Amino acid sequence: MYKILYIFFFSLIVGNCTLRPVVNHHGVPFLEKKQLKLIVNETNKNDIKEILGNPSTRSKFDNDVWIYIERKQTQSKLRNLGKMKIFKNDVLVLELDSYGVLKKKDFYNQKDMKKIKVTKATTKTGFKKSNFIYEFMSSLRQKINDPRGQRAKKRKEISQR
């Protein structure tokens, strides 16, 4: 009886194992192939939506900028304890004019993104703790959090005991 249970549990465990890695896919599949169908100064918004679907991100400054993303992750080797590893990371940036016609197309893959340098400079806050605005906002926040001043009264009662 115990042998049958051992064989059953062992086959259950081994049967659930797979040799193929699990791949998590995010974004537009086959972005690299699909972007070849887009022709600058000929393709319009409707064609782009038909080929690629809705964009992952939109930006509207001087012209419309549509950004499409494709990312594939898989679990790394056993020595890294199964952490997720990105093995495909593609980004397509499309710039459209005011008539909806494709004016510029930039495709970046994982190797291209490693070449892009990101600045490490940060902006500083425009006020200090001694600033009037900071004091005003602090008192306003305190009034919102405790409109009747009940917390201050409770603290006094506890400290008097």
Picking from 11, 110, 96, 37, the residue whose alpha carbon sits closest to that of residue 3 is: 11
Cα of 56 vs its chain's centroid, Å: 10
Average pLDDT over residues 34-48: 92
pTM: 0.60
- Between 71 and 75, name the one with better pLDDT: 71
Question: Domain locations in the chain?
Answer: 21-120
Distance CA 31, CA 103 (A): 19
Q: Is 126 helix (H, G, I), strand (E, B) or coil?
A: coil
Average pLDDT over residues 53-82: 79
**Which residues are registered as beta bridge partners of 90?**
70
The per-residue pLDDT for 38 is 92
The per-residue pLDDT for 14 is 67
List pLDDT tens digits, range 84-131: 778 888 899 999 988 989 999 999 888 877 777 777 777 776 655 566
Q: Are 66 and 100 contacting, i.e. CB atoms less than 8 angstroms apart? A: no
